[in-house]
Chains A and B, each alone.
Chain A
């Protein structure tokens, strides 16, 4: 696992998410798409570290209070990493489903953990984001793998 490349990638995606995507009504959650990628293609301990790190990056860009994203993303990423030991998530439809469920669960966990009131439109906002992320997510995995110099076309159990 190339940690420096990972740090640069997360920083770039966080800036992209905050600078461009935040001003759209319907937007993919690029950080959660990365979380699913690393949970699926890395070993379990690397997946745990990457999940919590991505959560910390999400905390930095806000707008919720810090800590909620780190815990929410970390728990969901860890669960996905352990699930990957049992069920290989390699095909694009399965990856899209995984992204959809992760965005929903992580979004709900983050909003519950934050010390701010829950929006009345939370369910519809999460649904829109989850659908958009599920459509876009699997197609972003090959370029991310190229950035990280990882091979993703082999099935491997850890």
Chain B
């Protein structure tokens, strides 16, 4: 009888709407925010690397490299616009955009972060999350100061992207093992290892320009269909060592 009652409780939880159960999980993380963040700080401290003298820290190097790649993509995009619009003035990429800074409470290496943000800001599902000037994922759930971030490496993640200067839509799908793949790209397109992958601003109201998301680490012909590439993408920043992130909040057009 006891087993039956407990199973009934479990089944009720299982069939509750995911929005409601998500709020319960967020509520738990909000209540125990302090011990969870202490645990995370401890985990980070035990995995930190020893600094060398007269060198730029790796994290700073990655931040500057990603900033350079974003500037290059923005410059190219602006040049295309100028050509199309015959010199009409266009706004700089980030004008009209605001950011919400958030602290990482917990990180799951398979694909989800829990972040703590200011309650004065309203976060919504679908907003892009940045670290070191590159996109790491999107807001999947937010409630009163705590939010879940679905990383682009998560199995359920699908983000529209572009590779380098190739201007046609591709979908970046997470694999759940710290990397993502881009399927159904014809071998007619020239793609190679090391190419930069950008989160595309096409079809989304949360981005004004392409923003770097990762790099191609493997590009081989698919075994099942030799006419398409098997492209693997890895993040442009170290997701395991995240401490702070920024959420892009796009202001409505006036």
Contact = CB atoms under 8 A, between A and B. Distances in A.
B28 to A, nearest CB: 5
Interface residues of A, number: 36
A78 B3 contact: yes
B10 interface: yes
Interface string A122-145: 000000000000000000000000
A67 B43 CA distance: 28
Interface in A96-145: 113, 115-117, 119-121
A18 B6 contact: no
Contact of A49 (B2, B13, B44, B111): B2
A20 B2 contact: no
A120 B176 contact: yes
Contact of A60 (B9, B24, B40): B24
A57 to B, nearest CB: 9
B43 A24 contact: yes
Nearest to A81: B3
B25 A62 contact: yes
Contact of A22 (B12, B13, B107): B107
Interface in A33-69: 45, 48-49, 52, 55-56, 59-63, 65-68
Interface in A73-110: 74-75, 78
Interface residues of B, number: 41
A61 B155 CA distance: 19
B253 interface: no
B171 to A, nearest CB: 16
B47 to A, nearest CB: 8
Interface stretch (B30-38, B124-132, B198-206): B30-38
A71 interface: yes
Contacts of A59: 13, 21, 25
A68 to B, nearest CB: 6
Task: With a 10 A CB-CB cut-off, give which of B3, B18, B25, B44 has the most chain A CB atoms.
Answer: B3
Given A20-B43, A45-B2, A74-B7, A67 B156 contact: no
A70 B6 CA distance: 9
Interface in B58-117: 106-112
A18 B107 CA distance: 8
Contacts of A60: 24-25, 28
Contacts of B244: none
B35 A66 contact: no
Interface string A13-32: 00110111011110000000
Nearest to B12: A67
A20 B111 CA distance: 16
A66 B25 contact: yes
27 contacts: A15-B32, A18-B39, A19-B35, A19-B39, A23-B107, A23-B109, A45-B2, A48-B6, A49-B2, A49-B6, A52-B10, A59-B13, A60-B24, A60-B25, A60-B28, A65-B21, A66-B25, A67-B10, A67-B13, A67-B14, A67-B15, A70-B13, A74-B3, A74-B7, A119-B155, A120-B175, A121-B177
Interface of B: 2-3, 6-7, 9-16, 18, 21, 24-25, 28-29, 32, 35-40, 42-44, 106-112, 155-156, 175-177, 240
Which 8 A-B pairs give the minimum distances between C-beta atoms? A19-B39, A67-B14, A67-B13, A66-B21, A71-B10, A70-B10, A52-B6, A20-B39
Given A22-B109, A48-B2, 8 more contacts: A16-B39, A22-B108, A23-B240, A63-B108, A70-B14, A71-B14, A119-B176, A120-B175
